[in-house]
Amino acid sequence: MVYLILGLVLWTAGHFFKRLAPDMRAGMGNAGKGVAAVIILAGLVLMIIGYRGAEFINLWYPPTWTVHLNNLLMLIAVFVYGMSATRGRLRGKMRHPQLVAVKIWAVAHLLVNGDLASVILFGGMLAWAVVQVIVINRTEEWVRPEPGKASKDILLVVITLVLFGVMTGIHNWLGVWPFPG
């Protein structure tokens, strides 16, 4: 669990570096971006290693139907995350699509995992995303981008379905089949 918690701390510190120490980050120039990226990547690697190696300590038994809700929420999360890169009509409908997607992802995974490591990982990521939105909203003004072509939104749906399929395959490869039999 130490690696998992350390990973969460590094992930959070790397993401908050720009907003909590803007003068230090600006003084570092492009190297500041690199430092933040290395810290975030190290945090991600430690979270994965820590989660995979954590002792299973059960806190509750999620109902089996939550797997279906998880899958639906994950499909929505992938779509919402993709809204950040879309140039379609949906562009600008949401200020923080990536962070909203992380929140959806975290809640979806909390619904289907009742162990301590999952609560730490997914609860920690949910807390980080909530605080990140608050900090960004207080420190940066948002200029809503102009909407683009509807055809780009159709492309987003196709990309979402493909990425969801890839993510399902990765889960299967890791030994977690996301669709109950």
Q: Is 8 exposed, middle or buried (0-12, 13-18, 19+ CB in 10 A)?
A: buried
CA 76 to chain centre: 12
Rounded mean pLDDT of the chain?
A: 91
88 and 47, same domain (yes or no): no
pLDDT given at position 21: 79
121 and 135, same domain (yes or no): yes
Q: Could you report the per-residue pLDDT of 131-167, keeping only the tens digit for each?
A: 999 999 998 898 888 888 888 889 999 999 999 999 9
77 and 106, same domain (yes or no): yes
Query: Once rounded to an integer, what is the mean pLDDT over residues 120-126?
Result: 98
3 and 36, same domain (yes or no): yes
Domains contained in the chain, number: 2
What range does the domain containing 149 cover? 56-181
166 and 107, same domain (yes or no): yes
pLDDT given at position 85: 86
| Contact residues for 57 (Cβ-Cβ < 8 A; gap 6+) | 115, 116, 117
63 and 152, same domain (yes or no): yes
Report the predicted TM-score, pTM, of the whole model to 2 decimal places: 0.89
